[in-house]
């Protein structure tokens, strides 16, 4: 079914109402972060991962998290390090199972989602340190860097870029690729406009509160906090996906332009009338299915001509 089908129009309309009624009330400035986390856990229990997905608690590189595998993909061709979103203050591997489960199946990958430390209890650079430790843990299992991709959504998308930058500066080999869903890459918020009418969950006051909690006194222009301002040269091929009805659309467009200017193979896919991290609605929303299928194609190694 395409976006214009009657069924898909109804599905999109219902999802939009549900998300606005639940997540917009969860991601609310002034609401104690503990309550935000609890509400997010409750809301995301309503999103079902694919039946073929399995989730196993594990620790990789001293970082707790979980492995996600999909039946029928017992010998995956790729390992995906997935960094969840949530403004650096909320979220966990459990809240993102609908997304990581579909990624495992559609990308022929096994996925490790680290439960990285959150602000405000653990501000920058705790999340970057944990992501780098998880990467090194995967490498310590004998995995070649060319067989590992890093992905993330929202704050996790920005964290994915920051992690790649940190690995580059440490002299580590680069991952196979980066996949970024609606990445948040500018915590200065200097060029962020008010949310468009179609935004269903994010507000500027909440994003500002998260940025303050994560930076915690560090200049938000720090390149590992706001990687939009970093030297992006040497990063691996990058796929950015974003909806046009969301607050962070400008971040995605600016990051794509900056990556291209730095000589990085960057691809930007915009989905009209779709909301923040709509890919989490895979299995229900046709555009989400198409988006993850595009991720699978992007991550598959290009056949070598003979």
DSSP string, 266-304: EEEEEETT--TTGGGGTTT-HHHHHHHHHHHHHHSPPPP
Fold adopted by 17-299: Rossmann fold (3.40.50)
Name the pLDDT band for 303 (thresholds 50, 70, 90). Answer: very low
Between 47 and 240, name the one with better pLDDT: 240
d(CA 113, CA 99): 11
Name the pLDDT band for 48 (thresholds 50, 70, 90). Answer: confident
d(CA 163, CA 156): 10
DSSP assigned state of 59: E
The answer to whether residue 96 is catalytic is no
The answer to whether residue 154 is catalytic is yes
Distance of CA 273 to the CA centre of its chain: 19
Percent of the chain whose pLDDT exceeds 70? 96
- Per the prediction, the chain carries an average pLDDT of 93
Q: Are 285 and 11 in contact (CB under 8 A)?
A: yes
The answer to whether residue 246 is catalytic is yes
Q: Are 103 and 52 in contact (CB under 8 A)?
A: no
96, 176, 256, 276: the catalytic one is 276
Average of pLDDT values for 32-38? 97
How is the chain split into domains, by residue range?
17-299
* Model confidence at 73: pLDDT above 90: no
Under DSSP, is residue 188 helix (H, G, I), strand (E, B) or coil? coil
Name the pLDDT band for 306 (thresholds 50, 70, 90). Answer: very low
CA-to-CA dists, residue 136 to 104, 141, 142, 144, 178, angstroms: 21, 9, 10, 11, 16
Please give the torsion angle defined by the CA atoms of residues 108, 50, 294 and 173, in that order, rounded to the nearest 10 degrees. Answer: -50
Percent of the chain whose pLDDT exceeds 90? 85
Q: Are 81 and 114 in contact (CB under 8 A)?
A: yes
* Model confidence at 17: pLDDT above 50: yes
Name the pLDDT band for 2 (thresholds 50, 70, 90). Answer: low
d(CA 237, CA 293): 17
pLDDT value, residue 3: 54
66, 209, 246, 266: the catalytic one is 246
* Model confidence at 305: pLDDT above 60: no
Average of pLDDT values for 127-147? 96
pLDDT tens digits for range 238-256:
999 999 999 999 999 999 9
154, 182, 252, 266: the catalytic one is 154
pLDDT tens digits for range 78-132:
999 999 999 999 999 999 999 999 999 899 899 999 999 999 999 999 999 999 9
* Model confidence at 11: pLDDT above 80: yes
pLDDT tens digits for range 200-236:
999 999 999 999 999 999 999 999 999 999 999 999 9
């Amino acid at each position: 079914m395409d976006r214009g089908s009657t069924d898909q129009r109804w599905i999109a309309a219902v999802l939009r109402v549900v998300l606005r009624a639940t997540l917009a009330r969860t991601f609310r400035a002034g609401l104690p972060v503990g309550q935000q986390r609890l509400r997010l856990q409750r809301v995301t229990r309503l999103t079902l991962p694919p039946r073929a997905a399995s989730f196993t608690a594990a620790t990789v590189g001293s970082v707790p998290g979980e492995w996600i595998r999909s039946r029928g993909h017992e010998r995956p061709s790729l390992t995906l390090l997935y960094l969840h979103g949530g403004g650096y203050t909320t979220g966990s591997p459990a809240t993102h199972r609908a997304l990581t489960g579909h990624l495992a199946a559609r990308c022929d990958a096994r996925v490790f989602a680290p439960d990285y430390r959150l602000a405000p209890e653990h501000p920058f650079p705790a999340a970057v340190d944990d992501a780098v430790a998880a990467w090194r843990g995967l490498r310590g299992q004998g995995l070649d860097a060319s067989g590992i991709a890093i992905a993330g959504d929202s704050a996790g998308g920005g964290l994915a870029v920051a992690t790649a930058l940190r690995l580059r500066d440490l002299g580590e080999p680069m991952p196979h690729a980066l996949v970024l869903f609606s990445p948040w890459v500018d915590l200065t918020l200097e060029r962020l406009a008010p949310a468009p009418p179609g935004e269903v969950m994010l507000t500027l006051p909440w994003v500002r509160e998260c940025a303050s909690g994560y930076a915690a006194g560090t200049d938000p222009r720090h390149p590992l906090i706001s990687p939009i301002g970093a030297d992006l040269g040497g990063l691996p091929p990058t796929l950015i996906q974003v909806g046009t009805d969301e607050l962070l659309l400008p971040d995605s467009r600016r990051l794509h332009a900056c990556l291209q200017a730095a000589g990085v193979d960057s691809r930007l896919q915009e989905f009209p009338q779709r909301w923040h991290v709509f890919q989490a609605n895979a299995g229900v929303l046709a555009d989400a299915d198409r988006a993850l299928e595009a991720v699978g194609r992007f991550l598959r190694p290009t056949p070598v001509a003979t």
